[in-house]
Structure 1
Amino acid sequence: MSMREKRRAAALTARIAGHYLRDRVGGAARAEVGAVPAAPNALTPEWLTAALCAEHAGARVESLRLTGGSDGTSSRRGLVVEYNEAGTAAGLPTELFTKSTTALTMRIVCGLCHLLENESGFYSRIRPELAMEAPIGYHTVFDPRSFRSMFVLENVAQTKGATFGNPLTRVLDKAMAEDMVSQLALFHGAFWDSPRLTGEFDWLLTGLDWHTTMNNMINTGKMFRNGVTLGEEVIPPELFARRDELWPGLFRSMELHARTPSTLVHADVHAGNWYVTGDGRMGLYDWQCTLRGNWALDFAYSIMSGLTIEDRRAWERELLELYLDRLQAAGGDAPDFNAAWLQYRQQTFHGVFSWIGTLGQGRMQPEMQPRDISLANVERIMQAVADLESLDALNEE
């Protein structure tokens, strides 16, 4: 990180901290209509009426109740609302889910790394166009100075009987894996090589720009090096011996990523961000890392994290063939299998970064994942990198 970037990050952090302290002094004050609530317990019927009822004359929220949740890079809470007769008759949503940046560390990480622009933009401007399984975004707002945020989304656990898991608690069968890559093909195909990615959706960064920004703002290179050391027990020995090639390999893969047609990329498609609906459909949430770039980043990351090592080895070629067929049907110009296989091998490194970096996160960052889940992902992903000889693939054209 250059001295200029250090000063920029320090100034932005200080500004965010100042706003956060003012919020703390004021407590969880009731949010005024038009403001961005500082926390879920600052929500009011009046604020929610403005957020949810604007297009329905006479409708208003009468009451609200927060339910259970969790904290990571954001604070997540369930929300149940009740409407007056006009709101009920209009069929307005009652089972909701909020994501907000209530803690200082959340605001700093989300602010420095452009995460709020991504997720707000996805739910407000992109999600309405997609015929895929993902939550509906009802109202998403954030303040670009304080990085206070409040996203009001569909609670798919209640509306669709969705269940959530991770590499330790859920095993995907082949039909689920096929639906997972088919969901990727739907949104990749919808925005394949689209000029809207750099025009209407100009907040979307390329993979190379995003990783450069992340490193400049929160020193992800240090996190990565720490994570490699902490993950040695689950990294294949032949890959650990080449550990000094992994960080440069990430940036080399991002350079290659930029040479191919771009599409909308979720970029955080690990097992914990997929859910299964009550009727068995695979769905995808947490769109805060959205990028524009190469399809294979999502494909590789999904199957490396979502499948056991044995199942990934057994199914990856068939899943790639299916993905390419579905991509073509959804409007993408699918590469031939051999070209796609090479891109798959080359685009494993974003997944490596995501979990090695999480394992090596700094003390001032929010705890993103428990260590056992991080190690399970590192083991699966690093074995894929070894199996696919991804480091060597970076030199192939």
Structure 2
Amino acid sequence: METKPGLQRAREKRNMDKPRLERPVVETIDHVTPSLLGAMLGNLAVTDFEAERIGTGQVGEVYRLRVRYSDEKENNPATVILKIASRDPRSRASGLSLGIYNVETRFYDELAPAVAATTTCVPDCCYSAYDKDSGSFALLLEDVGADALVGNDLHGATLAQAQLAMAELGRLHGALLPLVQQAENQWLVQEKRLNAAMFEELFHAFKGRYRGRVTPEHLLICEHWVQSFAWYMDATRQPNVMALLGVIHGDYRMDNMLFPAGGDQAKVVDWQLLSVGPLASDLAYFLGGCLDPADRRGWLRDLLQTYLDALTAATGGQPLVTPEQLEHDLRMNAFYGVTIAITSSILVRQTDRGDDMFITLLSRHCELVRDLDALVILPGAPVTGVKDWTPLRPEPQDELPHPAQENKYWSESWYFDFVDESQGIAGWVRLGLTPNLKGNWYTALVSRPGKPLLLLEDYAAPASSGSGHTLHIQVEHYEVTHDVAPGEELKTYRIRFSGKAAAYDTPDGVLRGDPASSADEDLALDLTYHSAGTPYQYRISPRYEIPCAVSGVVTINSQQTNLHEVPGQRDHSWAPRDFWSLDWVWSSFHFGSQHYHVTELRFFGGARMPIGYVQQTGGEVRELEGVVCRETHNNVAGDEGRLVSKMDMTVTPRGGEAVKVSVEPVGHAPLRLVSDDGRVSLFDRAWGRVRLEDGRTGVGWFEWNQNVLGGEQV
């Protein structure tokens, strides 16, 4: 299909306009006016338009716009497709933090014009814009027609559709191949976000949800793959493992294809997962997931040849690989679809159609693994649950600051808490370096039952003036120094804070955003944290935690409270942390010399992931296999001031019996966190008493990150 002349003019006009990051974006469809649409179309005289929502995207909204003009010229496009970010705050946050909005708009702006001479599978784009702060974006694309056939993963592809898909994929890969080596395209080298520990936890949630719908044979394939994932990732980083590397679509399947009337073309949409990778991963994903296994077995060799012929033609007529090399790469990437089916089913909102689709895709991809005998590339024979669970330890140098990453929400966090139940005082402190936000974060809170909560919060703190072993921040109303002595890494840490804190008569007012009763309370902390257990390094993220005995002085308006080896903990992390895209429950509590560090991550799709460990008396660390947290709030749903009034936890160490824990909050010290685009997270924190089934009691800190969507918490 030739480019529509009206869109061609608009695209040329767009290319003379401002850079992509400076062009106007569209927040919602209600913000689109005829004048804005006319400007996006290359200054056409738009008088009116009608918008119709199409598609069911999770992180974006797509509309067909029927456009009317003051000068009805033949070349003016009657309809166009507008794609914008989801108005759902959590979906938008996911799109922003994962970088997929940026990738898709950048593809249409920078790469799509370069491949237009080789393939017609990319819809013509006349406007693209992206706001890196809010995540808002706009894409104005050609409309291939309301009568175009939309691909369907569940129905699968016909032979004619599969042949079109393979031919277009070969042309696309060939057209994009020269762009990989260009310096300006290094953004295509995407960071691998999935590691072995996270994949295993997601698979654990997957089994819990779908065990009855997955055949034993396919479940065994999944278990073997999950157990071999770390080995595979290391092995495929070696040179020459794959014959063909280039730019991949990353989500090449029927749901992302349109077949215009006439049947001789395929249009490919949703370029959000574009990256550099093995070209055969796109092949494996389509051939495994979009074809009935019986059809695929009969069509496979012909379809691979169709792909090879198109690739060869697009790259100058000289074959890049032999059919045997392509089949090798296909086998090496046969598990790509298995991975996507497992992870996506847990990370997106659960629906009946989604469940059917993911189970169907998993079954088809497992059959591809069997047909290609891909299990032979993995080490050993299938096993069930055999793994080295030796706890990980941080290195002493991990105490020091780490190089920042470009992710907007990347932060490096040092956190400290303490509880002195006998004197009725507890507190927590956090320093967060956030180089890609408006400033660093510093929070210090002290809770005393029956007395006002003291709170210092600064989300625009200056950079630390210290270096190496010392972090130092000084502004007009507070000064803070965090330091660890050389040679004392992972053993001893000291924090000093002095400044003016706000006082809140009731902590629920913090969650509502109420004004403080006083803003001029003197607060000083001079605390030393002595490690009282084994430092533990998390598997899924660069983070470690250390149970501690805390000593020092808390001074409030000249009144001192001396602490002597009271229970507490400290942790240090350096990774992206988006408070507004994920809910969780975190806790650290102590029974004498036994310490629990328990986290339950709560995903958008309803799945929950357990993380953490229990340190037995004597320092033995046992990681957790299961965590279930059920909290009760003291206010009705929808009240942003609601606090957790109690919580029951079931904690299961690996290879051990489940332990039931009841939590009674004593004092709350929460925060109301507001992102730069207006999203709100109610960050309830409380210290309290805990009781085990055997009657033992202890104390600790608990944290509930609760996102607010449309005025209600989820």
**Counterpart in 2 of 1:44?**
33
**Counterpart in 2 of 1:16?**
none
Q: Is the Cα–Cα contact under 8 Å of residues 108 and 128 in structure 2 kept in the other structure?
A: yes
The structural deviation recorded for 1:174 is 1.9
What is the CA–CA distance in structure 2 between the aligned matches of 1:172 and 1:242, rounded to whole Å? 25
1:350 aligns with 2:333: no
Q: CA offsets, 1:165-224, max 9 Å, x none?
A: 3233x34232221111111000111122x2545523222125xx2xx32569xx665434
**Counterpart in 2 of 1:103?**
88
**Counterpart in 2 of 1:213?**
193
Q: Residue 157 of structure 1: which of 145, 150, 175 is its match? A: 145
The structural deviation recorded for 1:262 is 2.5
Q: Residue 114 of structure 1: which of 60, 83, 99 is its match? A: 99
**Counterpart in 2 of 1:265?**
248
**Counterpart in 2 of 1:359?**
345
Q: Is the Cα–Cα contact under 8 Å of residues 191 and 263 in structure 1 kept in the other structure?
A: yes
1:320 aligns with 2:304: yes
Secondary structure at 1:139 match in 2: strand
Secondary structure at 1:138 match in 2: strand
**Counterpart in 2 of 1:5?**
none
What is the CA–CA distance in structure 2 between the aligned matches of 1:258 and 1:185, rounded to whole Å? 25
Q: Residue 179 of structure 1: which of 164, 175, 199 is its match? A: 164
Secondary structure at 1:125 match in 2: helix
Partner AA of 1:256 in structure 2: T
What is the CA–CA distance in structure 2 between the aligned matches of 1:253 and 1:279, rounded to whole Å? 43
**Counterpart in 2 of 1:23?**
none
Q: Is the Cα–Cα contact under 8 Å of residues 136 and 154 in structure 1 kept in the other structure?
A: yes
1:241 aligns with 2:230: no
**Counterpart in 2 of 1:306?**
290
**Counterpart in 2 of 1:275?**
258
1:290-301 alignment, distance < 5 Å? 290-301=274-285
1:320 to 1:233, Cα distance in 2 relative to 1, 3 A = farther
What is the CA–CA distance in structure 1 between the aligned matches of 2:58 and 2:181, rounded to whole Å? 29
1:107 to 1:51, Cα distance in 2 relative to 1, 3 A = same
The structural deviation recorded for 1:246 is 2.2
Secondary structure at 1:372 match in 2: helix
Q: Is the Cα–Cα contact under 8 Å of residues 197 and 264 in structure 1 kept in the other structure?
A: no
More strand by share: 2
Secondary structure at 1:360 match in 2: helix
The structural deviation recorded for 1:302 is 0.9
1:66 aligns with 2:55: no
Partner AA of 2:261 in structure 1: G
The structural deviation recorded for 1:43 is 0.6
Q: CA offsets, 1:137-190, max 9 Å, x none?
A: 2212121011012222122233xx31113233x342322211111110001111
1:194-213 alignment, distance < 5 Å? 194-206=178-190, 209=191, 212-213=192-193
Q: Residue 147 of structure 1: which of 135, 138, 146 is its match? A: 135
Partner AA of 2:73 in structure 1: A
The structural deviation recorded for 1:264 is 1.8
Partner AA of 2:336 in structure 1: H
The structural deviation recorded for 1:236 is 4.4
1:257 to 1:79, Cα distance in 2 relative to 1, 3 A = farther
- Give the TM-score of the pair, scaled to structure 2: 0.45
What is the CA–CA distance in structure 1 between the aligned matches of 2:282 and 2:214, rounded to whole Å? 22
- Number of residues paired by the alignment? 347
Q: Which moved more, 1:75-84 or 1:258-267?
A: 258-267
Secondary structure at 2:112 match in 1: helix
Q: CA offsets, 1:271-305, max 9 Å, x none?
A: 21122221112321111111112110111111112
Q: Is the Cα–Cα contact under 8 Å of residues 62 and 82 in structure 1 kept in the other structure?
A: yes
What is the CA–CA distance in structure 2 between the aligned matches of 1:184 and 1:301, rounded to whole Å? 12
What is the CA–CA distance in structure 1 between the aligned matches of 2:325 and 2:246, rounded to whole Å? 17
Partner AA of 1:155 in structure 2: D
What is the CA–CA distance in structure 2 between the aligned matches of 1:73 and 1:118, rounded to whole Å? 13
1:34 to 1:335, Cα distance in 2 relative to 1, 3 A = closer
Partner AA of 2:249 in structure 1: H
1:90 to 1:143, Cα distance in 2 relative to 1, 3 A = farther
Partner AA of 1:371 in structure 2: D
What is the CA–CA distance in structure 1 between the aligned matches of 2:367 and 2:152, rounded to whole Å? 18
Partner AA of 1:279 in structure 2: G
Partner AA of 2:103 in structure 1: N
Secondary structure at 1:89 match in 2: coil
The structural deviation recorded for 1:267 is 0.8
Larger radius of gyration: 2
What is the CA–CA distance in structure 2 between the aligned matches of 1:316 and 1:65, rounded to whole Å? 44
Q: Is the Cα–Cα contact under 8 Å of residues 195 and 230 in structure 2 kept in the other structure?
A: no
**Counterpart in 1 of 2:65?**
79
What is the CA–CA distance in structure 2 between the aligned matches of 1:80 and 1:272, rounded to whole Å? 24
The structural deviation recorded for 1:233 is 4.3
Q: Is the Cα–Cα contact under 8 Å of residues 358 and 369 in structure 1 kept in the other structure?
A: no
Q: Is the Cα–Cα contact under 8 Å of residues 120 and 140 in structure 1 kept in the other structure?
A: yes
What is the CA–CA distance in structure 2 between the aligned matches of 1:251 and 1:92, rounded to whole Å? 53
**Counterpart in 1 of 2:629?**
none
Q: Is the Cα–Cα contact under 8 Å of residues 100 and 150 in structure 1 kept in the other structure?
A: yes
Secondary structure at 2:236 match in 1: helix
Report the identity percentage: 23
The structural deviation recorded for 1:324 is 1.5
- Quote the RMSD (CA, aligned, Å): 2.9
Q: Which moved more, 1:292-301 or 1:95-104?
A: 95-104
The structural deviation recorded for 1:395 is 5.9
What is the CA–CA distance in structure 2 between the aligned matches of 1:111 and 1:221, rounded to whole Å? 25
Q: Is the Cα–Cα contact under 8 Å of residues 352 and 382 in structure 1 kept in the other structure?
A: yes
Q: Which moved more, 1:171-180 or 1:298-307?
A: 171-180
Q: Is the Cα–Cα contact under 8 Å of residues 61 and 84 in structure 2 kept in the other structure?
A: yes
- Give the TM-score of the pair, scaled to structure 1: 0.78
